[in-house]
Amino acid sequence: MMDIKRVISTIEKNYIKNNLKKGERIDGRGLWEYRKFKITTNTIASAEGSADVSLGDTKMITGVKYDIGEPFPDLPNKGVCTVMAELLPLASPLFERGPPDEESIELARVVDRGIRHADCIQTQKLCIKEEKAVYILFVDMYVINHGGNMIDCGGVSALGALISSRIPKGEWTEDGPKWTGEYFKGKELINELPLPITFGKISDIIFLDPSLPEELVIDGRITISVTEKEITSIQKSGTATFTREEIKILGEKAFENAKKIRKDLDFWQYANNSN
């Protein structure tokens, strides 16, 4: 969130800032208005599950792959799910080549934490043999176009890819894990649908779902991941500070918006029913 601020002109920035401070957004949205999601699943033949998700101009393609490995010693009967993000230089002149930078690490981590702490995935189902063999699920997010609020888009794309996935079922034999011929379906693995909801802040104005130009001028943002009833993670970033009252209100707004998105997208329709 630092160097990229240079990309749009100072005049443009001031225009966006001044309007925001008056409560007006350059794309005409109200402060508490969310952009539309578009989602298609199972677009990648090589992946076990996948989702192609757009939120306004932001476009992300997420795939699920798996491997079999040893469990962590302290969780001998639980599989593992890891989330990775790549901000492809394809997607924006702001993204540079090279190893993952702070922004992509943050994207992956916030989505990961939302999922992990919501008990989103029934990791005990991802065990083939206690202490010996568990599944490692890789949820890898690739940003194809950056139009702002990658985190919320990432959260939806991760869920879409997981729900649409289909993973070979293994059983333990003397020679190690073997395929039973059947598959797990994503919907059998998913407990809860945690959704990250992100707010931007500039001076004392707070607003929902920042677009890219807005992200370039804000002081900071806060993401609150929620399931139907509980907050499962919070991440504040940038140099904005918040009052306790603001945090409380944003919690309520997060529940409200997540409920609406959950209803609009109707995630379970993307379950992969093929055998």
Partner 1 sequence: MTLLIQDEYPKKLLREDGLRLDGRGLTDLRPIKMEVDVIKNADGSAYIEWGNNKIFASVYGPREVHPHHLAKPDRGILRVFYRMATYSVFERKRPAPGRREKEISLVISECLEPVLFLELYPGTSFEIFIEVIDADGGTRCASTTVAALALADAGIPMRSLVSSCAVGKVDGQLITDLSGIEDKAGDSDMPVAMTWFNDEISLLQFDGKMNQEEMDKSLDMAKDALENVYQMQLEALKKKYIQIQEGI
Residue 11 or 266 having the CB closest to partner 1: 11
Which part of the chain contacts partner 1 (CB under 8 A), choosing from 12-20, 27-35, 174-182, 263-271?
174-182
CA distance 52 to 258: 19
Residue 169 or 187 having the CB closest to partner 1: 169
Site size toward partner 1, by CB under 8 A: 78
Which part of the chain contacts partner 1 (CB under 8 A), choosing from 24-32, 149-157, 175-183, 261-269?
175-183
CA distance 136 to 177: 13
According to the binding rule CB under 8 A, does residue 126 interact with partner 1? no
**Smallest gap from residue 168 Cβ to partner 1 (A):** 4
Residue 19 or 239 having the CB closest to partner 1: 239
- Out of 170, 196, 210, 213, the only residue in the binding site for partner 1 (CB under 8 A) is 170
- Out of 4, 31, 144, 271, the only residue in the binding site for partner 1 (CB under 8 A) is 144
Site for partner 1 in 4-63 (CB under 8 A): 43-48, 50, 57, 59, 61, 63
Amino acid 269 reads: Q
Buried b / exposed e along 161-187 (16+ C-beta atoms within 10 A):
bbbbbbbbebeeeeeebeeeeebbbbb
**Smallest gap from residue 45 Cβ to partner 1 (A):** 5
Residue 36 or 266 having the CB closest to partner 1: 36
CA distance 158 to 190: 12
Which x/- pattern over 57-96 shows residues binding partner 1 (rule: CB under 8 A)?
Answer: x-x-x-xxxxxxxx--xx---------x-x-xxxxxx--x
The secondary structure of residue 239, as a DSSP letter, is: S
**Smallest gap from residue 269 Cβ to partner 1 (A):** 22
Residue 187 or 237 having the CB closest to partner 1: 237
Contacts of 39-44 with CB under 8 Å at 24 or more apart are: 39/156, 39/157, 39/160, 39/265, 39/270, 41/160, 41/161, 41/163, 41/164, 41/270, 41/272, 42/164, 42/270, 42/272
Residues 67 and 126 sit within 8 Å (Cβ to Cβ): no
- Out of 12, 15, 142, 172, the only residue in the binding site for partner 1 (CB under 8 A) is 142
CA distance 122 to 115: 11
**Smallest gap from residue 15 Cβ to partner 1 (A):** 19
Site for partner 1 in 227-246 (CB under 8 A): 227, 229-239, 241-244
According to the binding rule CB under 8 A, does residue 138 interact with partner 1? yes
Amino acid 26 reads: I
Among 105, 192, 91, which residue's Cα sits nearest to residue 148?
A: 91
Number of residues that this document lists for the chain: 275
Amino acid 111 reads: V
According to the binding rule CB under 8 A, does residue 195 interact with partner 1? no
- Out of 21, 38, 178, 260, the only residue in the binding site for partner 1 (CB under 8 A) is 178
